[in-house]
Amino acid sequence: MIEKILIANRGEIAIRVIKTCQSLGIKSVAVYSDEDINSRHVKMSSEAYHIGQASSSQSYLNMEKIVEVALKSGADAIHPGYGFLSENADFADLCEKKKLNFIGPSGKSMRLCGDKMLCKDAMAKAKVPTVPGSPGIVEEVEKALDIAHEIGYPVLLKSVFGGGGRGIRLVHDEKELRQAFDLASGESKAAFGKSALFVEKFLPKIRHIEFQLARDTHGNTVHIFERECSIQRRHQKLIEMSPSPVVDQKTRDEIGQLAVKAAIAVDYRNVGTAEFLRLDDGAFYFIEINARLQVEHPVTELVSGLDLVKLQIDIANGKEIPFKQKDLKVNGCAIECRINAEDTFLDFAPSTGLISDVNIPSGPGVRVDTYLFSGCTVSPYYDSLMGKLITWGESFEESRERMRIALSDFYIEGVETAIPLYKTILDSKEFIKGDLSTDFLDRFKILDRLREDMSKEISEKTDAALAAGIIHSEFLKNKIKTQKDHGVGWKSQLGMT
Amino acid sequence: MIEKILIANRGEIAIRVIKTCQSLGIKSVAVYSDEDINSRHVKMSSEAYHIGQASSSQSYLNMEKIVEVALKSGADAIHPGYGFLSENADFADLCEKKKLNFIGPSGKSMRLCGDKMLCKDAMAKAKVPTVPGSPGIVEEVEKALDIAHEIGYPVLLKSVFGGGGRGIRLVHDEKELRQAFDLASGESKAAFGKSALFVEKFLPKIRHIEFQLARDTHGNTVHIFERECSIQRRHQKLIEMSPSPVVDQKTRDEIGQLAVKAAIAVDYRNVGTAEFLRLDDGAFYFIEINARLQVEHPVTELVSGLDLVKLQIDIANGKEIPFKQKDLKVNGCAIECRINAEDTFLDFAPSTGLISDVNIPSGPGVRVDTYLFSGCTVSPYYDSLMGKLITWGESFEESRERMRIALSDFYIEGVETAIPLYKTILDSKEFIKGDLSTDFLDRFKILDRLREDMSKEISEKTDAALAAGIIHSEFLKNKIKTQKDHGVGWKSQLGMT
Amino acid sequence: MEITTGYDIKMEFKIENQEKKLDADILKISSNSEYLLKIQGKEQNLKIINMTAEGIEFMLDNTYHFAKYLENTTAKMTLVVDGVKITFDKHSELDKIVYKNSGVESSMDSQISLKSQIPGRVVSINVAVGDNVKKGDVVCVLESMKMQISIKSHKDGVIKTMKIKQGNSVAKNDVLVEIE
Amino acid sequence: MEITTGYDIKMEFKIENQEKKLDADILKISSNSEYLLKIQGKEQNLKIINMTAEGIEFMLDNTYHFAKYLENTTAKMTLVVDGVKITFDKHSELDKIVYKNSGVESSMDSQISLKSQIPGRVVSINVAVGDNVKKGDVVCVLESMKMQISIKSHKDGVIKTMKIKQGNSVAKNDVLVEIE
């Protein structure tokens, strides 16, 4: 049985895993780079080890070093979190070789999930429908052009190594495809050392709906409902929720069974996610399996009552999943907003620096997973996710209301965030009626509305701001008076009567 | 429909009510005494009005002033919270007279609940079993002695105006009864202007189990499960949970129906609580109806998914309860620990002052209802409840584990609390197996165990404390060196080589 | 602070990027913490709950507000009021006096410099000194938080100076190149 | 702070109400933030993360700790380590020197005074000057947080002075009466 887990990650997900370790009485081992010694995951863990320089390749991606620390500290298992080494099959293999229990799928299964082309084949055999596109990797731009011509523009150019929306480009014509091919190739080489691109039909006004999966070493497989993740920017998720407004129990059963089939097809182990696209006509296409715990797992936890990290540890311990598909019922509704350090008005460009002040919301139905504290730093070396605000309600409406208030209570000083954007989205009639799609922001010109909302908010606070402004001047003058002159009244000093 | 609610209360419950107002888009009006201008309920409300001096009788108990502010501010309803005016029938009547919607039962119903003797009669008629004791109020100590002699010592001396365990005294013989009668009389006169005591059989090793009730103006009545509140000190609740470890679904249905009968017997309106004692043999005796929202209502919210303040507002608006008894299912388990400003080792005597630092726990399944912030003050003028820590889990064990960790994360500097005591209770095998009773602390000598646990905790932190101690000396010496002498090394200055 | 009656201080403000002039006026200081103000023509009572150099908590006509002072120069004042950031352009002779005395100066932005609006590492540079560039042309590519971001020229012109090298780290507001 | 080798500072501590002597020793200061300590005979590495006059965050042999300094006098040091309050009696000549220089003095508790351990309002007084009292006799009744609490004599003796009147408010640690 697992007694000590090394968490090969940082930020909010490392903290999330530590919380479950604490409640199970399992010791946690944190690792940190030069940049992270003052981080919360270091402070909360039972033990913490320095593993290298700030750059990920020198620290959180350094497999050998992490395994060395795991062995030195006496950890018997490794939790990879998401990102970094979480979907690195070589790392999973290395752990196995060193007799460290890797909390996730086998390297073999991970390779199958990670290779979009092999995975597509496996799904075809299992009769799980996938999106039309190139049958394999496209090495030459000319080949890509042929396929695009065949299936028709617009098409998506994707990287096999992508994930979480990274490395996906929408192109409308030949010229764009040529440019995008070069750029995508470059990015992929910079990040992964090699490039492997493929082409897929672009489907308009789609929803991104995914199913949470769990599969144990005894072959028991369940899905834990869907998550709708259609509110995105640049193909990366911003807002997620469970249940989806367009998934009824019949659809949930039906697509959930496809997800279960997909998990079996790749001999999946532990918890994972089957991602689907849903068209306006109700058709679902499988896209990929994310072979790890997802960023957005808390919404599933809130509507299922499960602790998914605990479930991961149980499965890694060889236990059977302690419930059956029929025992699971969706309870209420949960919404998550990702709190990224990004400037909405600069096309979501990164925003980093010292967090001089932070207020974290709380209250009934409110959960916040975050690494933030007043005085912490948001580093440019790692991704922009500072935390997640999740609210639960008996109904969609209650969870939305609670989210709306929690967003207003969330104050972060030092970096830009999408919190104002989320308020605008949550207030929009389209969001309220569930008219979601991955192009939601563009389709409803949300950024224009955001500008309006922000000036309205400013109008509402103008009186108070003017009051604070004039009192501040008084205060300053009195300070100056006190410093400069104790005999003469400050009014005469400033030329007043 | 209610659009603006004045909250005739302070502290955590005022904040709790404001949170629901915010989520429903209802404006909130706070009131505050001289002592409370810097309080969180003032800061969170839409509007806040000063109503008088620190003493409750000059502020939070000043009915006329509160009604005046309600009318001035344009509020259309009043939420009384708990304590203060919440069970004052005259106040409910006054509100009605001034066309203010009082969010609670009618004055008439409240009088019936508040008069323990009339209530006992009503229950006899409704066939709800009650505890043996004096048939009515006992005005003379001699009469009390007669009844005690008849039903046999030990007996409880109770005040009709009591509540939440206040004004209850256990006496073992004639001498104690005489002393207690004088003291109880005095306290009651000081607090309520008059005294009205009665005598009840003392039942040994009892559990305190209560049922949450809701009844609308259309006569629909439901119970929302039980809460076990057996961990007490001086007859006041410390830890509450739902469900109770000794209530199965059959018992829940059965006693729940008694609670519903009790609510109908007093023509109850809005949410309330029917309190029962449970003997070791499984017998339940009704004790009283608390005609208000209880301190411990969050545990019911967490296992039912309901927002009870929202339900209160809906009922006050004349709406029907939007669910039936059969729709309600207990989901998981919730535990609450009351965070009082009290010194466990001084017999839970009050501890007040400036809170120089506070850390409020958070995480999956953790909810904290509190007025605390760093820099706030715990006032001696009001009761000692600073907040409530509530945890939810899929099972009792999960909620207990989460509570255990959250308690360790809860840091309050400036006053004493029972947090260390709660850790000892939660770790005890008796609590884990559910062997609860109102004399739990004495029966298992918990305070002795607490002393042991505290010295064990100190041992575990001794190395770190020694390290911090010696580094601090280094730091101080360097500061002194810097201040006093820039040329000579500090070591030589201090006589070192 | 002494209690003063018949007291009158007026200040004019303008919200950044808005035309309308706003005025605030202290009519009376009733006590150490209570003021009668006239804001945009309407009398309002202000009571200070807490006040430090960083911020002020106050009741304005029975509603609580918390304002933090983020920045205060001769020309601008940035506040966060109840979580909402507001920047004022200031128009008060009085205030200028205060600031001249306290030695705070404002700085001028140059039109020549192309600054980075984000922190990051320089992945590639697409121009050299002497090159002609048009507004919108990519000048260099930065990497930050695992993303590659193209930095485009803000004007037509000729590259005069390069302030960066490939592999350099740049902070927010650092000058990348100068274009004339 | 200079980097020093062959460096040796030793301090002795005793946990309040415990007999055992504990010792801590700085063996080496490796850098501005890294120390080699010997604590109760065992060598441990300490790395400072943050340090202010109020507290210190540090790693001790790969485990994080946060210690706040609540009180520090010649004789006593009270810390809160990871939320656990620990009071040391100090036994270091060195430290005494430091404190003599910094002018901090310790105070002596009088055995005569009966102090209130809680804040509250005096509801009734049960004794007068000159009365004989026995240990445990009720001296007065205080009201606090809606409860009435009897304050009992801590010793046998005669009431010498009354420091309270009915209706007075008293703070924690205020002297109520003096008994000789």
**Contact between A48 and D66 using a beta-carbon 8 Å cutoff:** no
Candidates C49, C62, C63; nearest CB to B38: C49
**Which pLDDT value is given to residue D126?**
87
| Chain D neighbours, 3+ Cβ pairs < 8 A | A, B
> What's the CA gap between A465 and A457, in Å, rounded?
12
- Are A362 and B362 within 8 A, CB to CB? yes
Average pLDDT of span D94-113: 44
Optimal mutation site among D31, D58, D62, interface A, most CBs of chain A within 10 A: D62
- State the pLDDT at residue C6: 43
Q: Is the pLDDT of residue D30 over 90?
A: no
Task: Single out the residue of D149, D67, D163, D148 nearest to residue D114, CA to CA.
Answer: D163
d(CA B366, CA A244): 25
Is the pLDDT confidence value at B189 over 80?
Answer: no
pLDDT of the residue at B494: 34
**Residue D138 pLDDT:** 85
pLDDT at D109 over 70: no
* Number of separate helices (H) and strands (E) present in chain C: 1, 16
Q: What subunits make at least 3 CB pairs under 8 angstroms with C? A: A, B
Residue D126 touches chain B, beta carbons under 8 Å: no
Nearest to B461 among D13, D84, D94 (CB): D84
Residues 6+ apart with CB under 8 A from D147: B350
Span B33-71, pLDDT tens digits = 999 999 999 999 999 999 999 999 999 999 999 999 999
D53, exposed or middle or buried, with CB in 10 Å at 0-12, 13-18, 19+? exposed
* Residue B226 confidence (pLDDT) above 80: yes
Average pLDDT of the residues in D62-72: 92
Contacts of C95 (CB under 8 A, 6+ apart): A473, C11, C74
- Strands (E) across D40-146 are located at 42-51, 55-60, 63-72, 76-81, 84-91, 113-115, 120-125, 132-133, 138-144
Q: According to the model, what pLDDT value does residue A490 have?
A: 33
For residue C126, pLDDT over 50 is answered with yes
Vertex A124, ends A246 and A248: CA angle to 5°? Answer: 15
How large is the average pLDDT for residues B187-207? 83
Task: Enumerate the CATH 3.40.50.20 domain ranges in chain A, comma separated.
Answer: 4-103
Give the per-residue pLDDT at B159.
84
Contacts of C66 in chain B (CB under 8 A): 43
CATH of domain B207-450: 3.30.470.20
Q: What's the rounded mean pLDDT across residues B19-39?
A: 96
Q: How far apart are the CA of C89 and the nearest CA of chain B, in angstroms?
A: 28
Average pLDDT of the segment spanning C81-89: 92
Q: Which of A292, A338, A367, A402 is catalytic?
A: A292
- Asked if the Cβ–Cβ distance from C64 to B73 is below 8 Å, we say no
- Encode pLDDT of A452-470 as tens digits: 999 999 999 999 999 999 9
Cβ distance A23 to B362 less than 8 Å, yes or no, reads no
Cα–Cα distance measured from residue B299 to residue B389, given in angstroms and rounded to the nearest whole number: 10
Task: Indicate the range of A371-375, B192-196, C33-37, C83-87 predicted with least confidence.
Answer: B192-196
Residue-wise pLDDT tens digits, B364-375: 899 999 999 999
Cβ within 8 Å, pair C63-B48? yes
Residue C172 pLDDT greater than 50, yes or no: yes
Residue B371 has a pLDDT of: 97
D138 touches chain B (CB under 8 A): no
Contacts of A48 in chain D (CB under 8 A): 59, 62-64
Q: What percent of chain B has pLDDT over 90?
A: 80
Lowest mean pLDDT among A41-50, B130-139, C91-100: C91-100
Cis omega (within 30 of 0) for bond into A245: no
* Torsion sign (Cα): B393, B396, B401, B407: positive
B364–A19 CB contact, under 8 Å:
yes
pLDDT classification of B164: cutoffs 50, 70, 90: low
Would the CB atoms of C50 and B43 count as touching at under 8 Å? Answer: no
Write down the pLDDT at residue B389. Answer: 98
B361 cis-preceded (ω within 30 degrees of 0): no
Fold topology of B4-103: Rossmann fold (3.40.50)
Burial C2-38 (b: 16+ CB within 10 A, else e): eeeeeeebebbbebeeeeeebbbbbbbbeeebebbbb
- CATH 3.30.1490.20 region(s) of chain A? 132-201
- Inter-residue contact B6 to B29 (CB < 8 Å): yes
Percent of chain A with pLDDT over 90: 81
Residue D56 to chain A, least CA–CA distance (Å): 12
Does A307 sit within 8 Å of B398, measured CB to CB? yes
Mark yes or no for CB contact B23/A401 under 8 Å.
yes
Identify the band that residue A482 occupies on the pLDDT scale cut at 50, 70 and 90.
Answer: low
Residue % of chain B over a pLDDT of 70: 94
Q: Domain B132-201 maps to which CATH number in 3.30.1490.20, 2.60.120.1270, 3.90.1150.10, 3.40.47.10?
A: 3.30.1490.20
**Mean predicted lDDT score pLDDT of chain A:** 92
Question: Does A494 sit within 8 Å of C24, measured CB to CB?
Answer: no
Chains D and A touch (3+ CB pairs under 8 A): yes
Chains C and D touch (3+ CB pairs under 8 A): no
* Residue among B360, B362, B405 minimizing CB distance to A23: B405
Contact C59 B48 (CB under 8 A): yes
C82 shares contact with chain B (CB less than 8 Å): no
Portions of chain B given CATH number 3.30.470.20: 207-450
What's the rounded Cα separation, in Å, for the pair A21 and A27? 6
Instruction: State the nearest Cα–Cα gap between A44 and chain D, in angstroms.
Output: 8
Instruction: Pick B466's closest partner by Cβ from D22, D48, D123.
Output: D22
pLDDT at residue C92 is higher than 60: no
More confident residue, B204 or A232: A232
- Residue-averaged pLDDT of chain C: 80
- Known catalytic residue at A292: yes
C52 CB within 8 Å of a chain B CB = no
Average pLDDT over residues B480-494: 41
Residues of B in contact with D48 (CB under 8 A): 471
**Searching chain C, which residue's CA lies closest to the CA of residue B50?**
C62
Confidence of residue A357 (pLDDT cuts 50, 70, 90): very high
Strand ranges (E), A53-177: 77-79, 101-102, 155-163, 166-171
Q: Do C144 and A477 touch (CB under 8 A)?
A: no
CB pairs < 8 Å spanning A and C: 151
- Output the pLDDT for position B202: 87
**Choice among B207, B269, B278, B292 that is catalytic:** B292
Rg of chain C (C-alpha set): 23
Tell me which chain D residues have a C-beta less than 8 angstroms from the C-beta of B479. Answer: 53
C-chain residues near A467 (CB < 8 A): 24, 37, 39, 44, 46, 58, 60, 65
pLDDT, one tens digit per residue, over B281-291 is: 999 999 999 99
Min Cα separation C121/chain A (Å): 9
Looking at A255-264, B388-397, D7-16, which range is the least confident one? Answer: D7-16
Paired tokens of B114: 């508040």
CA distance B102 to B122: 24
More confident site: C112 or A167: C112
Interface test with D, best of A37, A69, A72, A377 (most D CBs within 10 A): A37
Q: Return the pLDDT at A195.
A: 76
- Residue D151: DSSP 8-state: E
Backbone angles phi, psi at B268, to 5 degrees: -70, 150
Q: What is the ipTM of this complex?
A: 0.82
DSSP D128: -
Using a CB-CB cut-off of 8 Å, the residues of chain A touching C36 are none
- B463 to D56: CB separation less than 8 angstroms, yes or no: no
pLDDT at B490: 33
Give the confidence band of A61 by pLDDT, cuts at 50, 70, 90: very high
The pLDDT of residue B497 is above 50: no
Cβ contacts below 8 Å, chain A against chain D, sum to: 22
Does the pLDDT at position B486 exceed 60? no
Whether the pLDDT of residue A495 is over 60: the answer is: no
Mean pLDDT of chain B, nearest integer = 92
pLDDT in tens, A390-432: 999 999 999 999 999 999 999 999 999 999 999 999 999 999 9
Over residues B71-99, the pLDDT tens digits come to: 999 999 999 999 999 999 999 999 999 99
